[in-house]
Amino acid sequence: MAFQMYMVVFHGEFSQGTSRAVQQHIHKLNGFTLMVMKTGIIVAFDDSLVPAVQGHPGVKMVGGVTLSPHGYAADRLQRIFAENLSKQIQIKTE
């Protein structure tokens, strides 16, 4: 049981509807969308949920990814991921 980053690749041409449907599906599984692109999305969710995400009809493949600090835009991507993550996390106070 561990959160990991995944690249979720869509079937066929880019469709706004498919992209949203997959994001909502992942959100229902307590996952988070980190970045959205035309070919797919970079998300974070529990590794035990890979089959559930893979089972969505709009999903072609799911593969684990990591962020290399040596990448040309790694720091920017990290900032984008953090910003998008912060918009989806609700901090609950007692």
Partner 1 sequence: MPNVGAELASVPFGKMIYDMASAIARSQVALDTASIQLVQVLARTTFDYVPDVVETLLPNPRQVKGANGAPLMDDDGNPVMITGVLVQTDVGTAFPLTLLQAGVNPTFYAFTNSTIEVKMSITSTQESSNTLSVGVSVSASADFLFASGSVSSHVNFTSSNKYSYSVTGSSSMSTTLAPVPPPKNMMPRFFLVNAIDISKISISQS
Is residue 85 close enough to count as binding partner 1 by CB under 8 A? no
CB of 9 to partner 1, least distance (A): 5
Residues 6+ apart with CB under 8 A from 62: 6, 7, 8, 9, 50, 53, 54
List, in order, residues 6 or more apart from 24 with CB less than 8 Å away: none
Stretch that binds partner 1, among 16-24, 25-33, 58-66, 86-94 (CB under 8 A): 58-66
Strand partners, 44: 5, 32
Residues 4-23 binding partner 1 (CB under 8 A) are: 4, 7, 9
For binding to partner 1 (CB under 8 A), which residues are involved?
A: 4, 7, 9, 37-40, 42, 61, 63-74, 76-77
